[in-house]
Structure 1
Amino acid sequence: MRTTTGKPGAARRLPGGEIRSGSGTDKTGRPMKQGASAAERDLAALRLVGMPAFVLEVDGRVRLATEAAAQLLGLHCSQIEGRSFTSLHDTASAEQVEKWLERCVSGPGGPVECLVQMRLPEAGRLSARHQACPVAGEGGQLVLVQTARVEAAPTPVLDESSAGAMSLLLPRSAFERQLRALLADPVRSTSCLLQVDVDHFKVLTDRLGSAAGQAVVEFVARTLIDELPSHLVVARGGIETFLVFLRDTALADAERIAHSFCRAIRGTGPTWNHEALHTSVSIGIIEFQPRITSAAEALYAVDTAVRQAHESGGNAVRCYQWDDSIIIRTTQAFNELPRLQRAINTGSFVLYFQPIRNLTGPPGPAAGELLIRMVDETGALRGPGTFLPVAERYSLTAAIDRFTLRAALAWLAANARMTERIGYISINLGGQTLCDPAACDWFEKQVCAYPASGAKLCFEITETALIRNLAPVRGFLGRMATLGCRFALDDFGTGFSSLGYLQSLPVDFVKIDGAFVRGCDEDPRARTLLAAINDLCHMLGKQTIAEFAEKPEILDVLRDIGVDCAQGFAVSHPFPLDGLPAWLLQSEHAGAPDSIRSASRCG
């Protein structure tokens, strides 16, 4: 829900004239008392999700600072609160910040941004972006400032050997050729495969930028070459991934080598802009078995092992266990690929629709998300959990995205008389589509062919797709927004890394991940966190949609804390898109009909 920040003492006014006092937590994370000021609620939300922020008096003194803001500057909150905000900046930026604050206090009340240099201990400097807006405080107007680090592209401190280490690695294509040769040999020696992943790489690049991430990758590459026995084959497996082939090596010896490397690299790392980048890795191992017949199968298994290492917290080694259940699951995944390719070639998919209910006012036009099912060779429907992971692994999601858009546009054209009852239809997009300029051209052309359809479409993108592909995603959103399309950020809250970007992107809706919604009716802590996330999204001017609202009691909690919309079984089970006209007609009189809800449970 788009919000505005008013003059001193004003509460947030939502479209339609509704006044919401909000909810949140105090400094300790406890639920706030009723009537807490907008500044208190907003700062509490920012504290809870670890976002750097300050609350300023109108004279520029810092009243409050989040722990994340203090950490960003290498200080304690007590060293910041009470000081002039300009004193936190270098001489060149201080005057700029003073004028910027005056403009914020006396301006119309919208967000105001500026780029500055902030002081760090020992004469260091931090490039930062401030965004400020006036908020209501107990004694009058205050200023809420959100701060984000801006990548200044400094040069990492690396020795020449680290900088050149990448050239010593085998390309992945050459590595896979060696792997295929091994698997084709009828007489195999005992051998193992390692996958080495840099831990928390996305967090690092979100905080310091891609150049800092590259510095860490080069450091790990150099350490691999120095620490591992010289006869081992080391290759680049991905952006932050390395592959190591251990010929004539038993599993126990491979584990010993992997643990030794973890210990060697833990807590070390390059220096970046006066900051030591402490590094750790997660390692997955497989021992080649006679049942492994393809390089793809071996790489799939070792990737599964390294994911388990990541899930255990990182800095860990995990071996792939070749028990019967894992073999069955791996085989099923590979069997799914030709089935999926056939479905893409023949268009053997069916779209389901799951309604999204407005919780803060009259129902209004219907809205919902399109969910895809695959029709297999027997005519049975297969859920997305069986084929979407395979599509992601083998870069087939773009084809599924195109099918979904074509089908949605065809449905809107065939049901033109029903479209005034529809607010929007939401379509999920993968990173492969968002990063491909040709796909963007294709989507734009398709929507232009149905001029009235743009305003009825909402594209959902995940936090992961946004963070890893910010520049192309920004371009895609900008082009589609000119056609009237809307956008939702999906699975929000699983990383919090997109908060800094969320303000500058044309995202209309934030879908709060179900992990924060389930149990909110029973666990006060879950309710507190959910309320803080909701308040933070409102502060950024976004409407909120709670996913996995599976019980009426959860809907009651969502209404109470002011979540705008809900999606889940408590609203409606998914049903075939062809059933939407009947659902629309019947819901005008008595809500979503029970008959359709019951019939849709198979979806």
Structure 2
Amino acid sequence: MTSQTIRYMAFAFAAADLLIELDGEGRVSFAIGAANIFFDEDEKTLEGRLWRDLVAEDDSPLVEALVEALDVGGRYGPVMIRLRGRRPEVNRRVLFNACRLPQQPDRIACAISQLTASAFSSIKTPEATGPGGLLGKDALSDRTAEIVAASKALDLRLALTFLELPGLTRLKGSLDHQSARSLMQRIGAALRAGSLDGQTAGQFADEQFGYLHEANKPTHAVVHAIEKLTKDADHEGQGIVPLTRNVEMTAGELSPEGIMRAVKYSIDKLTEGGSDAAIDGGLAATFDALVNATMERIDAFGRMVKHDDFKIVYQPIVALSDKSLHHFEVLSRFEAETSPYEAIRFAEETGLVEDFDIAVLMKVCAMLEAAETDPRLIVAVNISGRSLGSDLFAGLVQRELAQHPKLARRLALEITESAEIKDLSRLDAIVQRIRQRGFEVCLDDFGAGSASFQYLRALKVDWVKIDGLYIRRVLKDSRDRAMIESLVDLCKKLGVRTVAEQIENPDEAAALRKIGVELGQGWLFGKPTDRPTYKPPLGLPAVETPTAPRVRARRGGFRETWG
């Protein structure tokens, strides 16, 4: 078989716009195809030039790693690279493939294709902050989410390979600065060379990495490349054997968004726990287990919301001055084995809480409007600060309240997880639109974070609920009592009323009343119950309480014990 025939076979196999053949020195020995599309010149002018002259400088390490790792009979790609144009502004992104045919083991055939209607060409590449063009943890998670969503229509099976490089920190510490930097650049390039498009590889932690690729693509070339790189750099010649685990990006009926929520949540949990979080098999096996378990939990949580598999309960909030009922906080309770705290926290951390919050609000509004509901019933519903970070969610809340104007003064919103909100001026604008409709707003867990007084300065609300940490110590610690006294005094001057939660005994209630706290909540006044009922403590006569129909619902308090 002639060399010319072999070249045409490679060209046909690649189905590319341009075929470039490289000799052992990395020079173009042959070129055929539409070179003018990429370089504005004839393919014959490419012959004799080094491949580095044709590739954008930032992508040269990627191509170098790919070429060095290419075995006889092996193939790499496609990866997305930029070709070097005559001027920097005309550099073009292309899909790049490379193969080393058995008939010509000393030559590498490189196939270049245009990015036209590719599913990934319109996806914005985030800024690489790591060595060798690697993405950070969050950037890789976000980009993977977008590509998984784009690939669904193409029926393309994708996988995320997680790598742990035990001893990498030690190895870098044994090298001088320049050598350590060069090693990390080469490791980054090797990971990018194995990724789907050269842009979906990242670093999660000091010794933890990952890259997205087609599910059926072997990963041994990347592993071998890293083994060789670390062995060459190691003065002792030992190197590092990467621990790897592949996680396919499909899971039953779970949407790509749900899959990536699971992946991102698992990455966060794994990197938080480090080696202490590992199960048998190391961190890679732990990551695999976390992803699979999280996918199952997300799927189960979605089904639970869809089928109303939890119920509404009510906990009374009373006036400390005379123990009279003021309103009820609406909470959610799940199946017996599921902790409300854990369920809501999981929804918060996986991004599921927005749908959950708006569904609860809609359910509670419908319950209050029902003919069988006592019109005296007043309730508060929790809204996560994470949810309010979404413009779409904030708009849905406004729309729901606008549809129920008669519920003003009967429905209040408690903002939980306020520490998650960074743009306080934006949040205050949302709060004021809610208050203008006649619905009161309470800031929950006040005092739990160092920025609580900053929130009070920036947000004009009707109530603040003092965190139970201070309430439990009001009789034991004079400093905590002084904190509550100062907070109550400040709130009075600002025209903001106060609520104390987790009140367990009459002495705590009396101390808080003396300080000036207006309302109280806790087991002293009643545990959450299926119906809004309240029996005053301390032998006071029972009072008639408003009624509501027994309903199923989707959201309420945040705490497992106290709501």
Q: TM-score, normalised by structure 2?
A: 0.51
Shift of 1:456: 1.3
- Unaligned 5+ runs, structure 1: 1-162, 195-223, 254-286, 309-316, 594-599
1:358 corresponds to: 319
1:541-556, aligned counterparts within 5 Å? Answer: 541-556=495-510
Q: Which residue of 1 is the match for residue 350 of structure 2?
A: 394
Using the alignment, how far apart are the partners of 1:441 and 1:298 within structure 2?
28
Cα gap change, 1:464 to 1:445, in 2 (>3 Å): closer
Specify the alignment match of 2:216 in structure 1: none
Q: State how far apart, in whole Å, the 2-side matches of 1:437 and 1:390 are.
A: 22
Cα displacement (A) at 1:289: 6.5
CA distance in 2, matches of 1:473, 1:602: 26
1:525 aligned onto 2:490: no
Alignment partners' CA distance in 2, 1:427 and 1:568:
16
Change in CA separation of 1:408 and 1:384 when aligned onto 2, cut-off 3 Å? same
2:366 and 2:318 map into 1 onto residues whose CA distance is 24
Aligned to 2:542: 590
Deviations 1:166-201 (A, max 9, x none): 9955342456779x999677xx9764799xxxxxxx
Other-structure match for 1:345: 306
CA distance in 2, matches of 1:592, 1:574: 17
2:412·2:441 contact (CA, 8 Å) conserved in 1?
yes
Quick check: 1:513–1:546 contact (8 Å CA) kept in 2?
Answer: yes
AA of the residue aligned to 1:486: E
**Hey, what does 1:321 align to over in structure 2?**
278
Deviation, structure 1 residue 574: 0.5
CA contact (8 A) 1:463 1:498 kept: no
Verify the 8 A CA contact 2:266 2:290 in the aligned structure 1: no
Q: How does 1:220-239 map to 2 (within 5 A)?
A: 228-232=184-188
Superposed counterparts of 1:246-325, under 5 Å:
299-307=264-272, 319-322=276-279
Letter in 1 for 2:278: Q
The CA deviation at 1:575 is: 0.8
Q: Where does the alignment leave 5 or more consecutive residues of structure 2 unmatched? A: 1-126, 149-155, 169-179, 193-198, 211-221, 231-241, 250-258, 546-559
Aligned partner of 1:573 among 527, 532, 536? 527
Which SS does the other structure have where 1:550 is aligned?
coil
Q: Deviations over 1:248-299 (max 9, x none)?
A: 579xx9xxxxxxxxxxxxxxxxxxxxxxxxxxxxxxxxx9575966686665
Amino acid at match of 2:301: L
CA change 1:405–1:393 in 2 (3 A) is same
- Asked if the contact 1:366–1:584 (Cα under 8 Å) also holds between the matched residues in 2, the reply is no
Cα distance in 2 between the residues matched to 1:181 and 1:556 = 64
Q: Which digits, 9 at most, give the CA deviation of each residue in 1:378-424, with x for residues without a partner?
A: xx57332242223223322121112211221122122677333x4x4
CA deviation digits over 1:461-488, x for unaligned, max 9? 1353564242432232122112100111
Q: CA RMSD in A?
A: 4.9
Structure-2 separation of matches of 1:349 and 1:383 = 12
- Is residue 460 of structure 1 aligned with residue 414 of structure 2? yes
Instruction: Find 1:373's aligned residue among 330, 333, 349.
Output: 333
1:384 alignment partner in structure 2? 340
| Residue among 405, 428, 432 paired with 1:478 | 432
Contact 1:301–1:320 (CA under 8 A) maintained in structure 2: no
Q: 1:527 to 1:332 in 2, by over 3 A?
A: farther
Residue 88 of structure 2: aligned partner: none
Task: Please give the alpha-carbon distance, in whole angstroms, between the structure 1 residues aligned to 2:291 and 2:264.
Answer: 11
Equivalenced residue count is 350
Pairwise mapping of residues 59-74 of structure 1 onto structure 2 (< 5 A)? none
Pairwise CA distance, 1:450 = 2.6
Partner of 1:495, secondary structure, is coil
The answer for the alignment partner of 1:208 in structure 2 is none
Post-superposition shift, 1:556? 2.6
- Cα distance, 1:319–1:475 mapped onto 2, change above 3 Å: same
Q: 1:549 touches 1:567 (CA, 8 Å); kept in 2?
A: yes
* In 2: Cα distance, 1:434 partner to 1:461 partner: 9
Does the CA contact (< 8 Å) of 1:351 and 1:404 recur in 2? no
> SS at 2:442's partner residue?
strand
Larger Rg: 2
1:245 and 2:209 aligned:
yes
Per the alignment, do residues 547 and 331 of structure 1 end up closer, same or farther by CA in structure 2, a change over 3 Å counting?
A: farther
SS of 2:414's equivalent in the other structure is: strand
SS of residue in 1 equivalent to 2:187? coil
Question: 1:589 offset after TM fit, Å?
Answer: 4.6
Q: Among 360, 363, 372, which residue is 1:404 paired with?
A: 360
